[in-house]
């Protein structure tokens, strides 16, 4: 299937829809997931368009995963997590719901189960506070 230029993340990347952005460089952007599976759940995207991993230009992976590593390390520190789950879904059968390649960064805490994927919307004030914590850790 073709890439849809008007998918939600394409619109966020163009600044047409708001997000709690925590990081941006020439090739990648990171913002808070509005339906977090755990405190601090963040998404990392390449700016280059592709539906998912399957149709992406492999040239994007170096910068994408450099940002994934940066954000995962900062999230572990910012939220005092015990570990970090990095996940990525390809097409609906695998759980994908937004069709612009993105990687989930999910802080994990011993004994705390993850909430469901694409579950409840988080309160805006919680997203604001978590974004601030993560931005601060990314600047250290
Ligand atoms: P998936 O495509 O299944 O890998 O998941 C998409 C994720 O994006 C899911 O965790 C919920 C989140 N999400 C959906 N809509 C929005 C949105 O408008 N803004 C943000 N920040 N996250 C969104």
pLDDT of 18 reads: 98
Substitution site in 19, 35, 42, 104 for ligand 1 pocket (most atoms within 8 Å of beta carbon): 35
What pLDDT does residue 135 have? 98
- CA 31 to ligand 1 centroid distance, Å: 10
pLDDT of residue 119: 94
For the chain, residues with pLDDT lower than 50 are none
Determine whether 107 is exposed, middle or buried from the number of CB atoms within 10 Å of its CB (0-12, 13-18, 19+). Answer: buried
DSSP states of 3-34 as a string?
--TTSHHHHHHTTSS---EEEE-SSEEEEE-S
Q: How far does the centroid of ligand 1 lie from the alpha carbon of residue 62, in Å?
A: 23
> In terms of CATH architecture, what is 8-138?
2-Layer Sandwich (3.30)
Ligand 1 atom nearest residue 98's Cα: 2
Question: What are residue 133's phi and psi, to 5 degrees?
Answer: -60, -45
User: What is the model's pLDDT at position 10?
Assistant: 98
CA distance 75 to 106: 8
pLDDT in tens, 51-90: 999 999 999 999 999 999 999 999 999 999 999 999 999 9
């Amino acid at each position: 299937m073709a890439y849809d230029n008007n998918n939600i993340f394409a619109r966020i990347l163009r600044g047409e829809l708001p997000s709690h952005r925590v990081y941006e460089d020439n090739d990648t952007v990171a913002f808070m997931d509005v339906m977090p599976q755990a405190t601090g759940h963040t998404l990392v995207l390449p700016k280059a368009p592709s539906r998912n991993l399957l149709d992406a230009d492999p040239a994007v992976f170096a910068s994408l995963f450099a940002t994934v590593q940066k954000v995962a390390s900062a999230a572990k520190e910012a939220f005092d997590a015990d570990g970090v789950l990095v996940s990525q879904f390809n097409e609906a059968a695998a759980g994908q719901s937004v069709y612009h390649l993105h990687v989930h960064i999910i802080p994990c805490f011993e004994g705390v189960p993850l909430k469901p994927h694409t579950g409840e919307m988080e309160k805006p004030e919680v997203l604001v506070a978590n974004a601030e914590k993560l931005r601060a850790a990314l600047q250290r």
